[in-house]
Amino acid sequence: MPDQKPSARIRPATVLDAPAVAAVHLRCWRETYGEKIPADVYAEREAAGPGEWERLLSDPDGPTVWLAHRDGEAVGFAMAVAPGAGHVRPLELRLLHVVAQEHGRRTGTHLLQLAVGDAPCQVWVEEGNAHAQGFFRHHGFELDGERRTVAARGSLTEVRMLR
């Protein structure tokens, strides 16, 4: 039976949300990547994440971070950036994470719309993450054949999708 719960509510995150965003980020990594990411990388993220989010969310020139919440609990977030000159698209969806218990309630779709609208855009997705690739394909993105390995995420291989 389809899940009848509505999408979570979404608003811009503030510096006061830094601990919650860091916690959701780490939770989503564990749910999505599991043991593909080594324990020491998780430990480093757990230690450094809250401070990094606090710096980003208190920077007046920083990107908007869209925070989804339900019943007072953070359940997802999204952030887009301008990747800079020379990139194939002028806009990059840098982060989009929804906790597993929220999947399928259109929270990811609403976060995507707030972060990038229907603009031409690039996103890097883990190569084995068929669920996210299907979600982005559903929203008009296609693989363009580019791959990279990201040391900061425990050497995960990512593929690029463009719209």
Ligand X SMILES: CC(C)(COP(=O)(O)OP(=O)(O)OC[C@H]1O[C@@H](n2cnc3c(N)ncnc32)[C@H](O)[C@@H]1OP(=O)(O)O)[C@@H](O)C(=O)NCCC(=O)NCCS
Span of 12-20, 52-60, 127-135, 141-149 interacting with ligand X by CB under 6 A: 127-135
d(Cα 116, Cα 118) in Å, to the nearest integer?
A: 6
Identify any residues that bridge with 97 across adjacent strands, giving them in sequence order: 77
The three-class DSSP label of residue 84 is: coil
26 binds ligand X (CB under 6 A): no
In the complex with ligand X, the residue whose CB is nearer, 38 or 134, is 134
Q: Is 154 in the site for ligand X (CB under 6 A)?
A: no
Of 47-55, 59-67, 134-142, 145-153, the window that binds ligand X (rule: CB under 6 A) is 134-142
Q: Is 106 among the residues that bind ligand X (CB under 6 A)?
A: yes
Sign of the dihedral through C-alpha 81, 52, 54, 58 = negative
Task: Number of helices (H) and strands (E) in the chain: give both, helices first.
Answer: 4, 7
Question: Does position 156 bind ligand X by CB under 6 A?
Answer: no
> Among 17, 134, 152, which residue's Cα sits nearest to residue 73?
17
Binds ligand X by CB under 6 A, chosen from 42, 52, 109, 127: 109
What x/- string results for residues 84 through 103 when contact with ligand X is judged by CB under 6 A? ------------xxx----x
